[in-house]
């Protein structure tokens, strides 16, 4: 298989009881994979195992069909022979070299002129060729990180591993640099694994998401699958603002002040977690359900409403945002509600 494969990986941290286990992880050539999870869950360690900076106690790792780790078979290919690019949060450049010299340094054995030509080509693709003769201290943090990425790309890696490389940049710059970098990498059909703790980033850029929790992959799927069919309430709450309630099933349904939800597959009397995303609550002029507006958020059209003795976040799609104190009519699209056993 062209791309990346991890199978039955096991790794225990030094002087720790924390165990990382990856039953299966795969990425096709050219795919962008996001490893998503909170700090300390093991996602960065997965990158280090792929890069060869750490060695698993069990399992197999293959890159483009070549086995680079097989604990049982005694196979271990060192980092420098894996043709893998690894980029961290902070820029990593030689301060005494210009940007083009930094990038050319990474080019595989060629004449000096050819290395420089290749380096300039990569800098051009990433939009920073105008700074080729500058030294790192003369550039902004974002430009330095782009130069670091350019140096990695100049190696012509088979896989690029990104450990939150954009997290230290401000929001607007982060989004523009991330889009530029990933479009260049995607055009080269290079497999990408990106570590992030930001659910929005994962949903926006990934072809496939692996959610990591306490050293284990708890769910894998496309952004659509992960967002719309999370495995549990914890995952549902991880992806953006959510209305969360705990309730009981009665007569095959769960009743809330805003509406009822079918509870097929749950026994009467079962305790359930109810997760309702703001876009499941709709403005509905003919509805009998009245809601009082408590808060209005202009930037993302979010409003906070009370219905009876319960409160909900709602994505308001009307032409004009209501004001605090207004009474509106709403309904619930119960097909978008999620129920989980407690």
Do 158 and 64 contact (CB within 8 A), yes or no?
A: yes
Residue 73 has a pLDDT of 93
Say whether domain 3-236 belongs to CATH 3.40.50.970: no
Q: Is residue 273 within 8 Å of residue 340, measured between CB atoms?
A: yes
Rounded to whole angstroms, the Cα distance separating 180 from 156 reads 17
325 neighbors 290 (Cβ within 8 angstroms) = no
CB within 8 A of 213, min separation 6: which ones?
37, 38, 41, 234
Q: Edge to edge, what strands does the sheet with 58-63 contain?
A: 75-76, 66-70, 58-63, 3-12, 19-28, 216-221, 208-213, 32-36, 191-196, 159-163, 84-87
Q: Where are the domains of the chain?
A: 3-236, 241-341
Q: What is the pTM of this model?
A: 0.90
Written as tens digits, the pLDDT of the chain (342 aa) is 789 999 999 999 877 788 999 999 999 999 999 999 999 999 999 999 999 999 999 999 999 999 999 999 999 999 999 999 999 988 889 999 999 999 999 887 778 899 999 999 999 999 999 999 999 999 998 999 999 999 999 999 999 999 998 888 888 888 888 998 999 999 999 999 999 999 999 999 999 999 999 999 999 999 999 999 999 999 999 888 899 999 999 999 999 999 999 999 999 999 999 999 999 999 999 999 999 999 999 888 999 999 999 999 999 998 899 999 999 999 999 999 999 999
Phi first, then psi: what are they for 260, rounded to 5°? Answer: -110, 155
For position 167, what pLDDT does the model report?
86
Query: Are the CB atoms for 247 and 240 separated by under 8 Å?
Result: no
Mapped onto helix, strand or coil, the DSSP state of residue 80 is: helix
Residue 104, SS3? helix
Q: Which residue has the tokens 């924390």?
A: 18
Q: How much is the pLDDT for 280?
A: 96
Residue 10 in tokens: 């096991």
pLDDT at 14: 76
Contact 18, 205 (CB under 8 A): no
76-132 confidence digits (pLDDT tens): 999 999 999 999 988 889 999 999 999 999 887 778 899 999 999 999 999 999 999
- Per-residue pLDDT tens digits for 254-278: 999 999 999 999 999 999 999 999 9
């Amino acid at each position: 298989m062209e791309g990346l494969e991890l199978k039955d990986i096991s790794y225990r941290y030094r002087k720790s009881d924390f165990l990382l286990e990856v039953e299966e992880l795969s990425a096709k050539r050219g795919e962008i994979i996001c490893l998503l999870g909170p700090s300390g869950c093991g996602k960065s360690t997965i990158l280090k195992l792929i890069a060869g900076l750490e060695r698993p106690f069990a399992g197999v790792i293959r890159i483009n069909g070549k086995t680079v780790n097989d604990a049982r078979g005694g196979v271990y290919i060192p980092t420098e022979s894996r043709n893998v690019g690894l980029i961290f949060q902070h820029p990593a450049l030689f301060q005494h070299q210009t940007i083009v010299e930094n990038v050319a340094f990474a080019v595989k054995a060629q004449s000096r002129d050819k290395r420089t030509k290749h380096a300039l080509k990569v800098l051009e693709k990433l939009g920073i060729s105008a700074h080729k003769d500058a030294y790192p201290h003369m550039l902004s943090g974002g430009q330095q990180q782009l130069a670091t990425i350019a140096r990695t790309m100049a190696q012509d890696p088979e896989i690029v591993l990104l450990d939150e490389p954009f997290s230290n940049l401000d929001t607007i710059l982060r989004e523009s640099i991330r889009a530029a970098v990933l479009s260049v990498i995607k055009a080269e059909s290079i497999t990408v694994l990106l570590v992030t703790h930001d659910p929005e980033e994962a949903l926006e850029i990934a072809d496939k998401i692996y959610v990591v929790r306490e050293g284990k992959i708890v769910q894998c799927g496309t952004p659509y699958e992960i967002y719309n069919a999370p495995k549990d309430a914890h995952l549902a709450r991880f992806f953006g603002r959510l209305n969360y309630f705990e309730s009981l099933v009665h007569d095959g349904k769960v009743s809330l002040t805003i509406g009822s939800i079918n509870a097929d597959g749950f026994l009467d009397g079962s305790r359930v977690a109810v997760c309702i995303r703001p876009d499941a609550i709709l403005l509905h002029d003919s509805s009998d359900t009245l809601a009082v507006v408590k808060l209005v958020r202009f930037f993302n059209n979010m409003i906070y409403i009370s219905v009876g003795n319960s409160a909900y976040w709602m994505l308001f799609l009307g032409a004009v945002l209501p004001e605090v104190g207004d009474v509106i009519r709403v309904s619930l699209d119960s097909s978008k509600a999620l129920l989980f056993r407690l």
